[in-house]
Copies of this chain bind each other. A is one copy, B any other.
Amino acid sequence: MALVVQKFGGTSVADAERMRGVADYIARTCKRGDRPVVVVSAMGHETDDLLDMAAKVSKSRPGREMDMLITAGERKAMALLCMALHDLGIAADSFTGSQAGVLTTSEHTKARIVEMRPRRVEAALAAGRVPVVGGAQGVSTDREVTFLGRGGSDTTAVALAKALGAEVCELYTDVSGVFSADPRVVPGARRLARVSYEEMLEMNAAGCPKPAMRSVEFARTHGVPLHVRSSFTWEPGTWIEEESVMEHPIVSAVLSDQSEAKLTVAGVPDRPGVAAKLFRALADRLVNVDMIEQNVSLHGTTDISFTVPHEDLADAQEVTSGLQAELGASGVFADPEIATVSIVGAGMKTHPGVSATMFEVLAAEGINIEMISTSAIRLTCVVRQSEADRAVVALHKSFCLDSDDDPGGVGAPASGRSPGLGPRAGQSARAPK
Task: Write the residues of chain A forming the contact surface with B, with a CB cutoff of 8 angstroms.
Answer: 14-17, 19-20, 25, 28, 44-45, 50, 52-54, 56-62, 64-66, 68-69, 71-73, 75-76, 78-80, 82-84, 86-87, 93-94, 174-176, 179-180, 182-184, 187-194, 230, 232-237, 239, 241, 245-249, 252, 402-404, 406-429
A61 and B83 in contact (CB under 8 A), knowing A183-B233, A413-B236, A428-B418? Answer: yes
B68, A94: Cβ atoms closer than 8 Å: yes
B-chain residues with CB within 8 Å of residue A406 when the two chains form the complex: 420, 422, 424
B-chain residues with CB within 8 Å of residue A78 when the two chains form the complex: 68
Tell which of A15, A54, A57, A429 has the most Cβ of chain B within 10 Å.
A57
B-chain residues with CB within 8 Å of residue A246 when the two chains form the complex: 416, 418
Measured CA separation A419–B61 after assembly (Å): 38
A80, B94: Cβ atoms closer than 8 Å: no
A419, B190: Cβ atoms closer than 8 Å: yes
Known pairs A190-B421, A193-B412 / 11 extra A-B pairs, C-beta < 8 Å? A61-B86, A66-B83, A69-B75, A69-B79, A191-B421, A192-B419, A193-B411, A403-B412, A406-B424, A408-B426, A410-B412
A66, B45: Cβ atoms closer than 8 Å: no
B425, A418: Cβ atoms closer than 8 Å: yes
Q: Smallest CB–CB gap between A97 and chain B, Å?
A: 13
A53 and B82 in contact (CB under 8 A), knowing A410-B412, A414-B187? Answer: no
B-chain residues with CB within 8 Å of residue A412 when the two chains form the complex: 193, 403, 407-412
Can you offer 9 A-B residue contacts whose CB atoms are under 8 A? Answer: A15-B44, A58-B83, A68-B75, A72-B76, A188-B413, A193-B420, A410-B412, A410-B422, A412-B412
A20, B411: Cβ atoms closer than 8 Å: no
Measured CA separation A424–B404 after assembly (Å): 12
Residue in B65, B179, B425 whose beta carbon sits within 8 Å of that of A79 in the complex: B65
B-chain residues with CB within 8 Å of residue A230 when the two chains form the complex: 176, 232
B-chain residues with CB within 8 Å of residue A62 when the two chains form the complex: 82-83, 86
Residue in B76, B235, B402, B408 whose beta carbon sits within 8 Å of that of A50 in the complex: B76
- Which A-B residue pairs are the 5 nearest by beta carbons? A236-B411, A421-B422, A422-B422, A411-B411, A16-B56
Measured CA separation A192–B247 after assembly (Å): 28
Measured CA separation A192–B412 after assembly (Å): 11
Measured CA separation A64–B20 after assembly (Å): 19
A60, B79: Cβ atoms closer than 8 Å: no
Measured CA separation A418–B79 after assembly (Å): 40
B-chain residues with CB within 8 Å of residue A234 when the two chains form the complex: 182-184
B58, A69: Cβ atoms closer than 8 Å: no
Q: Smallest CB–CB gap between A57 and chain B, Å?
A: 5
A418, B426: Cβ atoms closer than 8 Å: yes
B-chain residues with CB within 8 Å of residue A248 when the two chains form the complex: 418
Measured CA separation A412–B179 after assembly (Å): 13
Residue in B79, B233, B407 whose beta carbon sits within 8 Å of that of A408 in the complex: B407
B-chain residues with CB within 8 Å of residue A68 when the two chains form the complex: 75, 78-79, 94
Measured CA separation A17–B209 after assembly (Å): 14
B-chain residues with CB within 8 Å of residue A410 when the two chains form the complex: 191, 193, 235-236, 411-413, 421-422
B-chain residues with CB within 8 Å of residue A73 when the two chains form the complex: 72
Measured CA separation A369–B21 after assembly (Å): 29
Measured CA separation A421–B421 after assembly (Å): 5
Q: Smallest CB–CB gap between A239 and chain B, Å?
A: 7
B60, A80: Cβ atoms closer than 8 Å: no
Q: Smallest CB–CB gap between A271 and chain B, Å?
A: 40
A421, B419: Cβ atoms closer than 8 Å: no
A425 and B407 in contact (CB under 8 A), knowing A54-B83, A184-B234? Answer: yes
Measured CA separation A245–B418 after assembly (Å): 11
Measured CA separation A146–B407 after assembly (Å): 47
Tell which of A60, A193, A234, A420 has the most Cβ of chain B within 10 Å.
A420
A60 and B76 in contact (CB under 8 A), knowing A194-B414, A236-B411, A412-B412? Answer: no
